[in-house]
Structure formats: structure tokens, C-alpha cells
Structure 1
Amino acid sequence: MERRFVKVEKGMGPQGRIAVVRFDRGDDINALSHQAMRELRDVPRDFEDDLETSVVILTGSARAFSAGFDLKDPEGRQRDTMAIGERIHRQRLGPKMCKAWQDMEQVTVAAIEGHCIGGGAALVVALDFRTCGRSAHFRIPEVELGMNMSWGSIPRMLALMGPARTKQAVILASDRIGAAEALAWGLVETVVEDGQALPAAMAFAERIARQPPIPVRMSKTTVNRFAHALDDLGSHMDSEQNVLTGLTEDYREGTSAFREKRKPSFKGR
């Protein structure tokens, strides 16, 4: 598949052990259309047999990591006319994308500038480390749109932030989480000056790239196996829940309010 929005550059850093993946739709919004998600899902396959790369950095544009799922994507809006089974199948693209990045043997680092919203946040919590610019912010708007937070992200956020902060981030969906809060909550590990997220991620990646590759991969895999051993118990019904909430009146109200730039009025039905 030809990639329109994602570019992969390998052979960087010490002994060429660093790769940079750039997701940039050229509009400073970087929404996750189905095409963009397929491209990001497939990137980890480039590294399955790559024993030379130790670290993969994922970054967005200079002004935005991602605005999350593209509600204006024509392909995405077809879901309203699909049968339930087809909706569930289509909804699994986002979770597969995130899981593919989590399962990479290489250490993964997100370099985040600007906004990182919804599906963008779901993607970065699937990575090993996160560095962001001082003006970056995060938001998890799904609940305010009448949906559940899916893509397997809640167990990952729980591992990073703990129960209370995860509930706060997900339930208080309209609240922005600034870089300082994200650092204090454990959502990111490093905050740097604006425009320096990628250089800082590269400097961190260089430190990892100088370590012996085999035990680095083993260590990452062991930590992930323990940290995410129970993830499937908390997220195996994500797609079904998303389809179910997508059939509610509150979902129609939430998405309509978003498009009309007004506050939603939910009825619980």
C-alpha cells in the first residue's frame, strides 16, 4: 500500500540504530482517517525482521501530533449505514494500530508537539516513552461525544497514571491536560521547550541505541508482558462497546454538538 501520510527513515543515530516515523497530513490537524490508521498500523511490519534498529521514534507535524479520529472522514462516516458485524470489524482498525505499536520489539518513543487528542493519545500510550513540548496538551473527548474510550487505551493509561487520573482524563472529557499536568500524572516522561520534542527524543534514543540490542529487546518484552498481562480482560469488548454507544441518542447528540460547536445535552438513552 502506498503511504500518503507516513514516512519512515531508518539508519540514524549511533551505528544507524534509530528510525524516525513521521505522521504528517500537512494540515496541522493530523486527524486519524482510516487511510492514516492503516498506514500507521502497517509501519511496525517494516521492523519485524529488522535486527539493526533498536529505537523507533514516532512524531507528528511541528504543530500537532494528532487530533484523533477524523469525524469528517467519508470512509469513517459510512459506519452509520453498516450492519452491526461490519461496524465491529471496521472499529477494530484503531485497536490493531495501537497493538501493533505496543508489540514492536524495538523501543518506541513518541515526540509530541501541539495537540494530542483522542485516538492520538490512545496511540502514544501504546508506546514505551513520551516526550512533549511545553505547549503540548492532551484530551480524551470520546465520552463527551457519547462514546466509550476504546482502542485498548484504558489499561495502558491505567498502567501509566493509576485509576483516579485515568478516570479523570477519560470522564472529564472536555478538560485539557497540559504538559505539566501530563508529566505530574505520569502520562509523559519528559517535557521540553516547544519545538524540541523530536531532538530530545532523539537524544534519549541515542542513549538506548548505545546499549547492547539483544538484552534491550528482552528487557522491553519482559516489562511489557508483566505490565500488560491483564489488558485483554479490560479491553476485549472495546469495539463492541463502541458500536453499542454509537447507536445511542447521546452519541448522535455528542457528535452533532461537536460539529455545531455547542455544548451537548445528554439524556442517558
Structure 2
Amino acid sequence: MTILPPLPRPGLSLKTLRVHQQGAVLSIELSTPEQGNAVTDMMLDDLRAVLDHQDPQVRVVVLSGAGDDFCLGGDRSEFVPTDPAAEGVRISGIKARRVYEALTGNPAVTIARVQGRAVGAGLGLALACDLRVGSPDASFRLPELALGLPTAWAGILPRLINEVGTARARDLVLTGRAVDAQEALSLSLLHKVVPAEAIDAAVAAWAKPIIRRPPAALRVTKTLFNSYSAATLLADASVLEAELMAAAVAETHRAADAP
């Protein structure tokens, strides 16, 4: 069994997020714009700490990114050649899956507020949310294959298949092409595209009726959606994704070191 580092203590200052709660709405902003809000181990720890200690009165969680882009994906600088067995990648993959499950299984309705690029793990974080709104400059891309990596991050592939369909998911994964906001809308990667100045109003329009829903009915409805759309646990290969990603990274290191 892989042992994960301890979680940050409740109340410990967050280094990669800005978090604000107003009534029943919890806003979580990825807040490292100088790095394109890249997903790091520290960000995963921060996200898990916030989601694990979420106020039970929260009905809506809004996930956004600071700066020009929502999230430019995983921080590949953490895939270090001094870790030939890719143990760090394996641990990061387990953390990512737990964050993903905290979003998809959240008792509140989760909303992704997307501007600019959502790449790789960034697309994954948006996809984990129940509802997604984007500005006209929003775009999505899965470049993992071009980087020598499988699309094995936190359960993104089964979620993508459920949301857009197998044939369209195959196109996006195998080509790694960028999808603009209007195509993302047609693929159901986005539910709405609105002008940048109207994106907060669109989030508020979704949140207003949701926060009036009885919490028990909301929780059960979300559970039903997840149950009906997800593969059974025995058939869900995403439980192996951390191992698959680590194996791929380790093999890449071995190939690079070969004479």
C-alpha cells in the first residue's frame, strides 16, 4: 500500500488557492497564475484539505482559475529523472484521484468557471464538475499522448467518455487537438458559453435556484447521477491509473537513459 503524506491541518494557510464562502456558495480559485495554475502536489493537497473540510451548509462549489487561463495542466517539473521508479508520480496520481472523487462525489453542485486554456489535468478538473460555463476564449486540450503519457489522471477518461461519448473522446485523446469554446459547447464539455463579462452572472444564475434545494434531495440526486453514469467499480480501470502513469513515466526514463 502506498503511504500518502499527511494532509494539511484544517486552518493551515493555503499556498495555491484562494477560497471564499458566501452563504451556501463556496468559491475555490486556483491561484498560481504565474505558473498557469499548473496542478502540483501542493495544489492537490490544498484542494483536498478544502474539500474534505467543506462546510456542510454549502450547496454550490465554484471552481475557477486566476489570470488568463483556467489551468495549464500538471506540473511536469515534478516528474523528476532522479525518481526512476516514478514513485512520486504514483503518489501524485493517488492524490489526484482522491481530489477528483471529492469533486465528482461532492454533496454540493460543483460549477467550473473556465476562461482561457484548460489543458490536461486542467480539463480534468473542469470535467469533474457538474456544470461548466466558459468565456468565448475558453479552449480544451489533452496533450498527454504527445508527451509520452497515457490519459490516466484521476479518472478523467471514463468521465470524458460519459460526458462526450466514446467516439468523440477517442478523437480528443488520440489527436490531442485543441477544442474552442463553441465546439466544447457542442461536445458538452461546456454547458454554456457567455461573454467574459457575463460569466459570473451565469454562475450566479445557476447557483440561485440550487441553494434553495433541500440538501437531502440534492445529495441523493447527485448520487443517482453518479451511479447511473459511472462504470461499476470492478470495471472501472481508473482505479489503476496511478500505477499506469507511473509505469509509463518510468519506461520513458529508462528509454532516455539507454545507450
Give TM-score, length-normalised by structure 1: 0.83
Matched, 1:155 2:163: no
Query: Is the Cα contact below 8 Å between 2:33 and 2:67 reproduced in 1?
Result: no
- Change in 2 beyond 3 A, CA 1:208/1:235: same
Partner SS for 1:204: helix
User: Displacement, 1:201?
Assistant: 1.3
Aligned to 1:207: 209
Aligned to 2:200: 198
> What letter matches 1:236 in structure 2?
V
> What letter matches 1:9 in structure 2?
H
Partner SS for 2:170: helix
Which segment is superposed worse, 227-236 or 52-61? 227-236
Aligned to 2:5: none
Matched, 1:119 2:121: yes
Aligned to 1:256: none
Counterparts of 1:183 and 1:208 in 2: how far apart (Å)?
Answer: 22
Matched, 1:3 2:14: yes
> What letter matches 1:36 in structure 2?
M
Counterparts of 1:228 and 1:79 in 2: how far apart (Å)?
Answer: 35
Partner SS for 1:68: coil
User: Displacement, 1:238?
Assistant: 1.0
Counterparts of 1:34 and 1:199 in 2: how far apart (Å)?
Answer: 32
- Deviation track 1:17-64 (CA, whole Å, cap 9, x = no partner) reads 2121111114271111211121112221122xx332111111111421
User: Displacement, 1:80?
Assistant: 4.3
- Deviation track 1:204-232 (CA, whole Å, cap 9, x = no partner) reads 11121122232122211111122124366
Aligned to 2:51: 44
Counterparts of 1:166 and 1:243 in 2: how far apart (Å)?
Answer: 23
User: Displacement, 1:93?
Assistant: 1.9
Counterparts of 1:236 and 1:77 in 2: how far apart (Å)?
Answer: 21
User: Displacement, 1:247?
Assistant: 2.8
Query: Is the Cα contact below 8 Å between 2:135 and 2:195 reproduced in 1?
Result: yes
Partner SS for 1:111: strand
Aligned to 1:183: 185
User: Displacement, 1:138?
Assistant: 0.5
Counterparts of 2:137 and 2:163 in 1: how far apart (Å)?
Answer: 21
Partner SS for 1:81: coil
> What letter matches 1:64 in structure 2?
D
Matched, 1:239 2:250: no
Partner SS for 2:151: coil
Partner SS for 2:227: helix
- Change in 2 beyond 3 A, CA 1:195/1:142: farther
Aligned to 2:59: 54
- Change in 2 beyond 3 A, CA 1:252/1:6: farther
Query: Is the Cα contact below 8 Å between 2:86 and 2:249 reproduced in 1?
Result: no
Tell me the matched-pair count: 243
Structure 1: segments with no counterpart, 5+ residues: 254-269
Give TM-score, length-normalised by structure 2: 0.86
Q: Identity percentage over the alignment?
A: 26
Query: Is the Cα contact below 8 Å between 1:113 and 1:195 reproduced in 2?
Result: no
